Structure 1
Amino acid sequence: MLQVEDVEDEFEDLPDEPAPVVVDELDEDKRPTVSVITVQGSIGPTVSNYLSRGLETARERGDQMLIMELDTPGGLLNVTQDIVRMLLGSELPVAVYVSPEGANAGSAGTFITLAAHVAAMAPATSIGAASPVTMGGGEMDTVQQKKIFSYTESFIESVAERRDRNVEWAKSAVRDGASITSSEAVEINVVDFLAQDLDDLLDQMHDFEVNGHKLKTRDADVNRIDLNLAELFFGFIMRPEVLLILTLVSIYGILGEISNPGAIIPGVAGVIALILLLFGVAAMPINVAGFLLIGLALILFVMEAFTPTYGILLGSGAVAFFLGALMLFQDLPEDMRLSLAWLIPATIVTVMFFALVVYYGLRAQFGKTRSGVETMIGQKATAIEKIDQSRGRVSISGEIWNARSDTPIGKGEQCEVLEVQGLMLQVQPLNESIKQK
């Protein structure tokens, strides 16, 4: 299914055809190279980031092209738009290969396949059924339905025209939900090749002309670009069952905190789940979600200093900070992204810093008073005259204070300050204090 959140009022222009790629002639002893990425599952924000990273890596390696192995039931329309623009505007040739056998380029996958410079399918695969539906599968009113279908149909028509593919079938895939097999797709010019496997695809693409340049892919060295840890994690979030769990955690967590103020854990879990949920349904850009999680982490760290929770807020802040840092730098160019070798130490250092702040804050809050007359309590003093229940004087820290004691204290004897009452000290004999201890 092609899931729709918002519909543009006007169809946005697709990127202009890029200039022909100039590739240096290969040395006789040098084999051509290609890079391969594998996309399986729903089309979401992670796929867009994965494709962008794959294109950048392939360009840096000087590859002949990037190949996307695709198997998807569909995904989000706004993310599909981003991917299509990326493919149409790419100077590096991109091939979409619907594989392995039994795979499907459904809904969003249809747009992506049609937008590629080279489109191919493995035997026993299918493509089509690109009719848009609303998030959650709710019913659309007639006007809204016409608007969404009209926009989506014009979008796929433009993509098919740009790549000189079967426009009428592309429109029927949206309008009527048409779906065809791989062999039918080759016959009616929906895709270019029917390839048994990757080697067969490379062989068939050899000397295929793209943007005025003939591809050299026969016997090419294949570099597979795997999903990194961040992409695996965020791809996991995109799974429908995980999105459902995040929805439940965010609802019950926030409601639990409202109904039981001070519970802390439900509220923190609910807010983190809500941010991840908004990212997962593409309602929030990945860098914005990362920024909010880091902001939440800082709030939790500060709250730990004023609301001692024995490390609960500190631990929750550590989780929010790590996820936020992981997301914040994913949408940047490759050379500006942070690896786990930086993120993990940064998280540990941050948590340790705030842990020390909390520790010393608690010591300052609950430790002994170090200024004012309260500091005199517990100190030793010397009686400079006889002290009884009514009067007397002591010398303490070079000062003379009036004092009284329930137990008589003779002149010159040591005593201990029990209490400060205005300008009067309540004291007791030192030997009595020692006995009590």
Structure 2
Amino acid sequence: MRGPTGPSRPGRPGGGSAPLPPPGGSRPPAARAAARLTALAALAAAAAVALAAVLLPALSGGGTARAQQQQEEEPAAVLLAEVDGTITPVIADYLDSAVQAAEEGGHQALLVELDTPGGLDASMREIIQDFLDARVPVIVHVTPSGARAASAGALITFSAHVAAMAPGTTIGAATPVDLQGGEISDKVLNDAAAYAEAIAGERGRNAEFAAQTVRDGRSVTAATALELNAVDLVAGDRAGLLDELDGREIPVAGGGPPAVLHTADAPVTEHPMGFFSALLQSLADPNLAFLFLSVGALALLYELAVPGIGLGGVIGVILLVTGFFALSVLPVHIAGLALLVLAAALLAAELFTPGIGIFAAGGAIALLFGGLFLFEGSMRVSPWVLVPASVLLGAGAAVAGRLAWRARRRRPASGAEAYTGRELTVESVTAPEAGPEGRALLDGAWWRVRHRDGAPMRPGQPARVVGLDGLTLLVETLPDSPGSGGPTDPSAKD
């Protein structure tokens, strides 16, 4: 019978009929819960992806904008190189490394603060080529007041993208000189003038004035150079220069767009010269070159005159080699070199034939005039170095000559001359009664002694050497000293 409630529900215990499968393949409640969680997770992931797709570009754009704003607020640094002295291969290498550092380091410009009397033509041309091929703007500032861009420095200034000068500075005097003091041919002069014109024309500056600095040696002040369009501006200091250049467009090598300078508040990064480069550059100084050559020659001559442990000779050779290096990068006049050679010869004569100091005085005078005529152009030996050095070296040669003379007088002779006049004591005789020979101690060695007249000698008798017969000393006897209690000291008198 069926119960009053009707048919039993599927799956109910005690039901009267077998359980039926769920319609439509329904899953158990646990499976349905897991499915819902999976769907919610997938929906959350899709929402996250969509949100990221919308927000990331905005965030990226905002970061880029902030970076651009920061870049605009903090402009790239300006690289600083300082040149104070002669243009040498050391300076050429230094500026070449500065140009490379400015290009590779992302600097917006290279600032070269210049003060030079000139230098080597080959080094100048290397620097100019680097400036013309630079992919960053090169700014040359002749500074501080009282500085100059003379000779090679003038052409280097003309080759910069921006040429600036401080008030009270000068530029020009670019006539080439011969390092050996000879005359410059028209061929060399015309080549240098054409080179200066080409550089100035390349930078849009006064080519005629550039040629005049070479042909006529013309030199002008900063104000006149600005009027002649030889330079771009006059600025008193670094900060004023960078303010003046702010916003300028500078065409650079490489065919790209012009570089726009933002230098008003730009930081300045120094490009220092290495230790050994700075040391080599410091040697290219007329004063040091003169001192090295003078003192080195005197030290070497003194070593030759009075040989010792060799310290003077070593120092002399080192100083001479260093002086020759300095001469290799400086414009030298042949007359000055000739006078230096004459001074060395006169000082050597004083060392080997000392007298009343005639040769020393002549050497000092030759040294003085040699220093005056040694270098060409504006590079000169300072009188504060030239005069004291010449006087001291002349006096030193005179003193060294006297010392060498005394050393030669004290130098022991050989043979009989080394012992003639020496006094000794006869220590023993072979035959006390008539023995003409005996033994005596002289200079730490035992000698056979014999009276020169064959007269007998006795032990303890003083004698004086008068000659040498083979290995036997010929002596003459001396009277005993009053109160002597024994043999006299053989080394008491020299």
Scaled by the length of structure 1, the TM-score of the pair is 0.53
Partner of 2:101: 57
Matched letter for residue 142 of structure 2? V
Deviation readout 1:246-295 (Å, 9 max, x if unpaired): 223454455566667775334433443344334434469xxxxxxxxxxx
Q: Which residue matches 2:233?
A: 193
Q: What whole-Å deviation, never above 9, does each CA across 1:293-338 have from its counterpart, x for those lacking one?
A: xxxxxxxxxxxxxxxxxxxxxxxxxxxxxxxxxxxxxxxxxxxxxx
In the other structure, the counterpart of 1:44 is: 88
Please name the residue that 2:211 is paired with: 171
Compared with structure 1, are the counterparts of its residues 283 and 124 closer, same or farther at alpha carbon in structure 2 (3 Å cutoff)? closer
Q: Deviations over 1:190-233 (max 9, x none)?
A: 11111122122112222322222222222101112334432332
CA gap 1:207/1:28 in 2 versus in 1, 3 angstroms: closer
Structure 1 Cα separation of the partners of residues 177 and 311 of structure 2: 36
Q: Distance in 1 between matches of 2:163 and 2:88?
A: 21
Q: SS state of the match for residue 287, structure 2?
A: helix
Q: Alignment partner for residue 273 of structure 1, among 309, 314, 319?
A: 319
TM-aligned CA distance change 1:91 to 1:28, over 3 Å: closer
1:206 matched residue in structure 2? 246
The structure whose RCO (Cα within 8 Å, separation 6+) is larger is 1
Correspondent of 1:231 among 277, 283, 288: 277
Counterpart of 1:199, as a letter, is: A
Deviates more, 1:47-56 or 1:234-243: 47-56
Relative to structure 1, the CA distance from residue 67 to residue 184 in structure 2 (aligned partners, 3 Å threshold; closer, same or farther) is same
- Secondary structure of 1:38's counterpart equals strand
What stretches of structure 1 of length at least 5 have no aligned partner?
Answer: 1-23, 285-437
The residue type equivalent to 1:157 in the other structure is: E
In structure 2, the residue matched to 1:97 is 141
SS in 2 for 1:120: strand
Q: CA offsets per residue over residues 130-172 of structure 1, 9 Å max, x none?
A: 1122236x342xxx43233122212212221222211110000
Distance 1:187 1:283, change over 3 A: closer
C-alpha displacement of 1:41: 2.2
What residue in structure 2 maps to residue 85 of structure 1? Answer: 129
- Inter-partner Cα distance in structure 2 for 1:132 and 1:42: 14
Q: How many Å separate the matches in 1 of 2:107 and 2:220?
A: 32
The aligned amino acid for 2:92 is: S
Structure whose CA Rg is larger: 2
The one of 111, 119, 124 equivalent to 2:168 is: 124
- Tell me the TM-score normalized by structure 2: 0.48
Listed as ranges, the matches of 1:151-166 within 5 Å are 151-166=191-206
Report if the CA contact (8 A) 1:44-1:282 is conserved.
Answer: no
Note if contact 1:249-1:269 (Cα within 8 Å) is conserved in structure 2: no
Task: Provide the secondary structure at the position in 1 that maps to 2:72.
Answer: coil
1:246 counterpart = 2:287: no
User: Which consecutive residues of structure 2, in runs of 5 or more, have no partner in the other structure?
Assistant: 1-66, 253-257, 331-494
Partners of 2:307 and 2:124 in 1: CA distance = 42
Superposition RMSD in Å: 2.7
Per the TM alignment, residue 84 of structure 1 is displaced from its structure 2 partner at its CA by 1.5
**Which has the larger displacement, 192-201 or 171-180?**
192-201
Change (3 A) 1:84 1:271: farther
> Quick one: distance in 2 between partners of 1:283 and 1:220?
36
| Number of residue equivalences | 257
Are 1:216 and 2:262 an aligned pair? yes
The one of 169, 178, 181 equivalent to 2:221 is: 181
Q: Which amino acid aligns with 1:65?
A: A
Counterpart CA distance in 2 for 1:245 and 1:96 is 33
| Identity level (%) | 37
Secondary structure, aligned partner of 1:92: coil
Q: Aligned partners of 2:301 and 2:186: how far apart in 1?
A: 38
Residue number in structure 2 paired with 1:68: 112
Instruction: Report if the CA contact (8 A) 1:252-1:266 is conserved.
Output: no
Question: Matched residue of 1:233: which SS?
Answer: helix
Instruction: Check 1:29–1:41 CA distance in 2 against 1; reply closer, same or farther (3 A cut).
Output: same
Q: Is the 8 A contact 2:76 2:106 kept in 1?
A: no
The separation in 2 between residues aligned to 1:225 and 1:213, in whole angstroms, is: 21
